[in-house]
Amino acid sequence: MPSYAVTGAARGIELEFVAQLSADPKNTMFALVRNKTTATRLESLPGKNITILEADITDPKALEIAAKEVSSATGGKLDYLINNAALAIPANPADIEKDFIDHFRVNTVGTAYCINAFLRLLQKGSVKKVITISSAGGDADVTVKTSLPGYARSKAAVNMLVAKYAARFKEEGFVFLALTPGFVNTSCAAPTPAALTAYNEFHQKILRIAPGFKGSMTP
Ligand SMILES: NC(=O)c1ccc[n+]([C@@H]2O[C@H](COP(=O)([O-])OP(=O)(O)OC[C@H]3O[C@@H](n4cnc5c(N)ncnc54)[C@H](OP(=O)(O)O)[C@@H]3O)[C@@H](O)[C@H]2O)c1
């Protein structure tokens, strides 16, 4: 009965992870969301093996409570943690400090809080895998070649955070992995003209490193 805890599960890529993983009744899913009342798409998934837990990843106490609930349900262990929750808002050149801190608080510090909250359970699990969804934007080479906009600094820090955990816990048999999902359209609404222009610019930039790039994927 593999067990998974996943963050940012109310929508986007992680909702799809939960949908696909919960289709196998052998999996036990713990879906962490920031706000249960707005996680309606998650609630409507048919799997009976999904427990929805509420925790903002910047709140270590809330994460500790969520980890206790997981522990009670699994007998004190967890096999997989998928860190997906992230903040991605447009850069704010008028207030660089706020721009940095907002993104680092969620994407970097919040990811560390999640790993720390579930570490003891993962140590008792039989798989010991922690997947963190990062971004190609966090790669220096990609950044220089494409000038992609966005939250890349906090994702570069996430990549180093993951490397630090990987080094610290490799003797215990852990795999810590940061991976990029590619370019995924997670928006539910029809794009505005401004969003379409931004998308086309984005597309042109990605073509610089991936000449065969055909556009975004669905989750
Ligand atoms: N989509 C892409 O093309 C793309 C490309 C590269 C990397 N990524 C990475 O892939 C991951 C998923 O992306 P996505 O497009 O699916 O994102 P998304 O649709 O924007 O969803 C982000 C999720 O994170 C949650 N979240 C944000 N701040 C949180 C906090 N403080 N505490 C708890 N949850 C929080 C959101 O919760 P609410 O629902 O409550 O807002 C939401 O469920 C992210 O790490 C993103 O950086 C995505």
- Is the beta carbon of 183 within 6 A of some atom in ligand 1? yes
Ligand 1 neighbour 180 (Cβ under 6 A): yes
The catalytic residue positions are: 151, 155
Q: Please write the tens of the pLDDT for every residue from 191-217.
A: 888 888 888 888 898 899 889 999 889
Give the pLDDT of residue 169: 98
Fold of 3-185: Rossmann fold (3.40.50)
pLDDT over threshold 80, residue 149: no
The pLDDT value recorded for residue 98 is 92
Instruction: Look at residue 110 in the predicted model and tell me its pLDDT.
Output: 98
Give the percent of the chain with pLDDT over 90: 76
Structure confidence at residue 190 (pLDDT): 79
DSSP 26-47: T-EEEEEES-GGG-HHHHT---
Query: What are the pLDDT digits (tens) for 66-79?
Result: 999 999 999 999 99
Closest ligand 1 atom number to CA of residue 137: 6
- Tell me the HSE value of 115 on the side-chain side, using a 13 A CA sphere: 27
pLDDT at residue 67, rounded to an integer: 98
- 104 CB-side CA count, 13 A: 11
pLDDT in tens, 93-146: 899 999 999 999 999 999 999 999 999 999 999 999 999 999 998 999 998 998
- Residue 132 bridge partners (DSSP): 83, 178
Cβ–Cβ < 8 Å for 91, 99: yes
Q: Is 141 exposed, middle or buried (0-12, 13-18, 19+ CB in 10 A)?
A: exposed
- Domain ranges within the chain, ordered by starting residue: 3-185
Residue linked to tokens 């042109």: 204
Going by alpha carbons, the residue nearest to atom 21 of ligand 1 is 12
**Sign of the CA dihedral running 219, 166, 169, 161:** negative
